Amino acid sequence: MTETRLLLGDEAVALGALHAGLKGVYAYPGTPSTEITEFIQKSEAASAAGIHCTWSTNEKTAMEEALGMSYAGCRSMVCMKHVGMNVAADAFVNAAMTGVNGGLVIVAADDPSMHSSQNEQDSRFYGKFAMIPMLEPSTQQEAYEMTGYAFDLSEKEKLPVLLRLTTRLAHSRAAVSVQPGPDSTVRLPAAKDPSSWVLLPGNARKRNDYLTSVQTHLSDIASFSPFTFITGEKDGADTGIIASGTGWNYVMENGAAETGFPVLKIGQYPLPEQKIKEFAASCDNVLVVEDGQPFIEEQVRAIAGSGTRVLGKLTGNLPRTGELNPDSVGKALGKEPVQFYAKPQNIVPRPPALCQGCGHRDVYIALNKVLASYPDARVFADIGCYTLGALPPFCAIDSCVDMGASITMAKGAADAGLYPAVAVIGDSTFTHSGMTGLLDAVNDRSNITVVISDNLTTAMTGGQDSAGTNKFEAICLALGVEPAHVRVVVPLQKNMAEITAVIREEIDYNGVSVIIPRRECMQTLSRKKNKTK
Amino acid sequence: MKYDIILAGVGGQGILSIATIIADAAVNAGLQIKQAEVHGMSQRGGEVESGLRLSDTAIYSDLLPAGSAEMILSMEPMEALRYLPFLSRDGYVITSTAPFRNIPDYPEDAVKKDLEILPHVVGIDIETLARENSMPKSANMILLGAAARHIGILTPEHLKESIARIFGRKGRQIVETNLRAFDMGYAKI
Ligand SMILES: Cc1ncc(C[n+]2csc(CCOP(=O)(O)OP(=O)(O)O)c2C)c(N)n1
């Protein structure tokens, strides 16, 4: 029975997976991917079916756990934001080498324009790098349908499948017509072929030959995929358009099909080379419209014959950075955007800020107080709400690079003689990828002061459970930090004298110290209060 | 027929609830919809915006083109102005008049002037109304009520049904307060 549901792109993926007989989702939160897992966590049907949906410690553990579930014969899904792919990359690329048993779908949500991210990396390069099939939906409906299709494809080709989303699809809602699937999860016999799963060089070489040998086949099936199709009149046009994902939406919004441009929609990769070759041969110019980096465009340059001019981001027809929009794509199609009212000059930006009453505020007030007497001090911070300490009135941090880099960069700087080298890291970021760096520092007796600002949650992404809650002192001690130098404080204005004294003592100590200011996030606290009302 | 709306405000002001209700009403009225939200970083007291597109034919883009919005509906006056490039020639700006001052040097006089010169603008002090009528959490529904007369593609009944449905989980009293807020906004225009 079909029904209509109003769904975010993320939620459409989640429901598509549930309707395809998913057994488990493994994920670490990250905008714009978080709502996929949260949808499954809130689903009563999923909980009744015993579907795994608790958060993993990071994207790599998530990827490997999902691979294990696939090995055991069930369908599993891994979700992350684009930079999570960097963390999961080792497991991801090698899962293409082992191949899969139960269907394995990896969802990577890219963030062109960096609404909530450090970079604009395009996950499709990872799919090509690992040589696996990839799908890229344009609409919420496709996001739903492609997810089920992805599981079938994964089991048929015995390879992981990458599903690529972008912020605009992930975080936009539309009506989706859905078809509840089997009531039970899919279960195949567990794998037991060590020649595929033990990647010793002798086995791996064979797997590599196999993976390489199926590339033409994978490109051929993309040509005949239900998600690859042409609209508009094909013959006689001098300019054709090749578009994927949200880029295709903007092409259609501008009425491309009605105004006579033939449009080849790409929904599946490796690119359908044959189809592209034929399409390009019928046009003098091909405009490539894709959100992200010029991934299709570069390949179309190689595929199209010399008689076709390939236009896009590399030729300046479309902006090279930032997400596309209906106006930038309209412009590339020769339309001038209409604007009736300009933005008044007096409008000032309203940047995000730490909440009133947030414990991170007290941590930065204390740090700034103490570090005022150490002009050479540097604060290596990390990713989370506390990154907002970079903005006024605090201006308290000197770096923020990737999750975990606070402790390790502080260590490297201390190795070079920088003093005081202070690291500020959140609780969830610490368990995500701060623990291993702390072990390095302990083993070298590096002179660093680590502040684990513990608000008992993963706040930045909306308050998910944090893997290390109640375990931080034990973790630090177990990693070898001296008990006298694991200090817990409560970040409140009234404790300022104590907190600043503790920070000063630990900066003066020559070795690894960990200070844990601990107080619950204001957001999760008020949500809890509302619930019990 | 299509109807594009920009919803604007400051993180935490409740623009996503307005969006949810309009979207729900649209689906129940058999319309196509696209509603682009902003999650994540910008919710911490920063500027937030949601584009809502309603139509009886297919909608392709999740994002609004410039100059296309029939309405800018804003919980905050300066935030209403931020999205003016999206407003269509005859579009309406319907906004709360109460500034949200969480930044230094809020340009209060300039904001007032810039709003006044627009051809179709409705300012309404929803914060005061909400406070005086002891419905502090329903300012956003007063604003929605004020907008309802102009959102021609949906009837006020569609919107009220959705208020009842969406707030239904929170109990009867909350539904009633929000319906009262809606009616109050509707009567103001
Ligand atoms: C590799 C990677 N995964 C996920 C994210 C998204 N992300 C940014 S900060 C954050 C969590 C921060 O939680 P915590 O360290 O506890 O700090 P809080 O926000 O609670 O202050 C997440 C999940 C990211 N930026 N990079």
pLDDT at B189: 76
pLDDT of A183 higher than 70? no
pLDDT of A234 higher than 80? no
- The tens place of each residue's pLDDT in chain B, 189 residues long, gives 899 999 999 988 889 999 999 999 999 999 999 999 876 556 678 899 999 999 999 999 999 999 999 999 999 999 999 999 999 999 999 999 999 998 888 999 999 999 999 999 999 999 999 999 999 999 999 999 999 999 999 999 999 999 999 999 999 999 999 999 999 999 987
For residue range A259-276, what is the model confidence (pLDDT) as tens digits? 889 999 999 999 999 999
Instruction: From A458, A465, A516, A519, give the residue whose CB has the most ligand 1 atoms within 8 Å, as the site to mutate.
Output: A458
* Residue A521: closest CA among A354, A393, A350, A352: A354
Q: Is A23 helix (H, G, I), strand (E, B) or coil?
A: strand
- A257 reaches B (C-beta below 8 A): no
- Map out the domains of chain A as residue ranges: 3-213, 229-332, 359-526
Residue indicated by tokens 């204001």: A522
Distance separating alpha carbons of residues A423 and A473, to the nearest angstrom = 17
pLDDT of A237 higher than 90? no
Using left for φ > 0, alpha for ψ between -120 and 50, and beta otherwise, residue A99 falls in left
Amino acid at B104: P
- A530 reaches B (C-beta below 8 A): no
| Ligand 1 midpoint to CA A502 (Å) | 26
- Map out the domains of chain B as residue ranges: 2-188
pLDDT at B43: 65
Which of B41, B42, B107 comes nearest A346 by C-beta?
B107
The overall average pLDDT reported for chain A is 96
| Residue A184: pLDDT band with limits 50, 70, 90 | confident
Which residues of chain B have a CB within 8 Å of the CB of A116?
39-42
pTM > 0.90: yes
Beta carbon of A519 within 6 Å of any ligand 1 atom: no
The structural architecture, per CATH, of the domain A229-332 is 3-Layer(aba) Sandwich (3.40)
Interface of B with A in 15-54 (CB under 8 A): 23-24, 27, 32-47
- B56 reaches A (C-beta below 8 A): no
- B11 reaches A (C-beta below 8 A): yes
pLDDT of A404 higher than 80? yes
Which residues of chain B have a CB within 8 Å of the CB of A250?
60-61, 63
pLDDT at B39: 66
Topology annotation, domain A359-526: Rossmann fold (3.40.50)
| Residue A351: pLDDT band with limits 50, 70, 90 | confident
Q: Could you confirm whether domain B2-188 is CATH 3.40.50.960?
A: no
| CATH no., domain A3-213 | 3.40.50.970
Edge-to-edge order in the sheet of strand A309-311: A229-231, A263-266, A239-244, A285-289, A309-311
pLDDT at A80: 98
- B81 reaches A (C-beta below 8 A): yes
Interface of A with B in 317-356 (CB under 8 A): 325-327, 330, 337-344, 346-355
For residue range A389-403, what is the model confidence (pLDDT) as tens digits? 999 999 999 999 999
pLDDT at B188: 86
**What burial letters (b/e) apply to A412-431, b meaning 16+ CB within 10 Å?**
bbbeeebbbbbbbbbbbbbb
| Ligand 1 midpoint to CA B65 (Å) | 32
Tell me: ipTM over 0.90. yes
- Stated as kind and residue range, the H or E segment containing A179 is none
